[in-house]
Amino acid sequence: MFNSSFPSYPLNQVVLKDLLVSIGQDRVLWAPRTGPDGLCRLQLVSEEDLPSLASLTFIPLKKLLLPPREAVWTHAAGQFSAVDVPEPFAVIGVPLCDLQAIWYLDQVFADDEVYQSRRMQSLLVGMACEPGPDCRCDGQLMPVAGDIFVGRERVWAISAAGDSLIRSAGFSSPDTDVMLPWPEGTAEKRQNLLEEQFYSGLDASVWEEEGKRCLSCGACSVVCPTCYCFDMLDVAAVDGTVTRHRVWDNCFFAEHGEVAGGHDFRPGRANRLRFRMEHKFFGFGILRGQNSCVRCGRCHKVCPVDIDLDRIAEQLVGEGFS
């Protein structure tokens, strides 16, 4: 198990209330809220309206740290100017799987000033949750990031900033031996698909079968808490000011694999589905070998044609491509 040695404190509801109030004193507060359409989204909330449990939001927390379109620099009159730093904000009621996803994004964007400036302004408070039917979270998949985790019986300090806030609120008598409480009763662990099995199964029938059903809508990537593909877009104004924007891209879109000269590395939907699964299971670039899926189940839930990465993994293992 990763990150098992965070200090934790016995939960005291009165002190917890003081802690949450102190967090809201100089930060904008976001928390999950379920709307009349039945979808849970992050909403701006007041200190009186904070949750006591985490909820899995339809659109993940990454949207606050990696907005769909953001300016990364502006150039005017021979000078570059940095992006605006967002005001401090806290997200209260984040499930553990989403804290893992933030850990992954923190690695990917470790040297990215724009991402890091948003991250520095954020305070992330995880909470215990009730797993849904699509949840298959697993503490073994990767470490968690964030600042504080509020369990049913204890409060954990994940970061030094979180520990300082916890102590200032009045929590005392920390213990370092209590593990983060991963939800029980989530579905079975992922089929252990090995990289060799994946590569032996590059021509497996499952890709064409599932690829034929895939609509290339990209919804799975939009809701995935660890998908981060982006494109760069330079916009020049009439006065010569140029602003560079980072814009979400999506590996399911037909032009994602196109390069100059018109060659397309992934012209078919089966190619694109396989590409995404490879990177969810076996990581990317310097994080190669690190699984990048936290098994939140969002992609399966949102998919209009019921494509499920776990089922594909089971099929690859079951067909014995090794």
- How far apart CA 85 and CA 121 sit, in angstroms, is 8
Minimum distance from residue 109 beta carbon to ligand SF4 (Å): 17
Q: Is 139 in the site for ligand SF4 (CB under 6 A)?
A: no
Per DSSP, the chain holds a count of helices (H) and strands (E) of 11, 11
Q: Is 295 in the site for ligand SF4 (CB under 6 A)?
A: yes
- Scanning 26-34, 51-59, 214-222, 232-240 for contacts with ligand SF4 by CB under 6 A, the matching segment is 214-222
Asked if 5 and 183 touch (Cβ cutoff 8 Å), the reply is no
Minimum distance from residue 297 beta carbon to ligand SF4 (Å): 5
Which single residue is written with the structure tokens 């981060």? Answer: 228
Minimum distance from residue 311 beta carbon to ligand SF4 (Å): 12
Q: Is 293 in the site for ligand SF4 (CB under 6 A)?
A: yes
Size of the site for ligand SF4 (CB under 6 A): 26
Q: Is 224 in the site for ligand SF4 (CB under 6 A)?
A: yes
54, 296, 312, 313: residue in contact with ligand SF4 (rule CB under 6 A): 296
- Identify any residues that bridge with 72 across adjacent strands, giving them in sequence order: none
Strand locations in 35-176 (E) = 40-44, 69-76, 79-81, 89-94, 122-127, 148-150, 154-157
Q: Is 133 in the site for ligand SF4 (CB under 6 A)?
A: no
The CA-CA-CA angle for residues 94, 296, 276, to 5°, reads 125
b/e code 195-208 from CB counts within 10 Å (16+ = b) = eebbeebeebebbe
Q: Is 254 in the site for ligand SF4 (CB under 6 A)?
A: no
Q: Is 247 in the site for ligand SF4 (CB under 6 A)?
A: no
19, 214, 313, 316: residue in contact with ligand SF4 (rule CB under 6 A): 214
Minimum distance from residue 217 beta carbon to ligand SF4 (Å): 4
128, 294, 313, 316: residue in contact with ligand SF4 (rule CB under 6 A): 294
Interface mask (CB under 6 A) for ligand SF4, residues 56-85, using x and -? Answer: ------------------------------
Q: Give the DSSP per-residue string, 180-202.
A: P-PPSS--PPPP---HHHHHHTT
Asked if 253 and 229 touch (Cβ cutoff 8 Å), the reply is no
Minimum distance from residue 305 beta carbon to ligand SF4 (Å): 5
Q: Which of residues 225-244 bind ligand SF4 (CB under 6 A)?
A: 225-226
Q: Is 280 in the site for ligand SF4 (CB under 6 A)?
A: yes
Q: Is 303 in the site for ligand SF4 (CB under 6 A)?
A: yes
Asked if 96 and 180 touch (Cβ cutoff 8 Å), the reply is yes
Which single residue is written with the structure tokens 């404190």? Answer: 9
Distances (CA, A) of 72 to 3, 97, 173, 239, 308: 32, 28, 44, 19, 35
Structure tokens that stand for 316 in this block: 């690859």
Residues that bind ligand SF4 (CB under 6 A): 214-220, 223-226, 252, 280, 293-299, 302-305, 307, 309
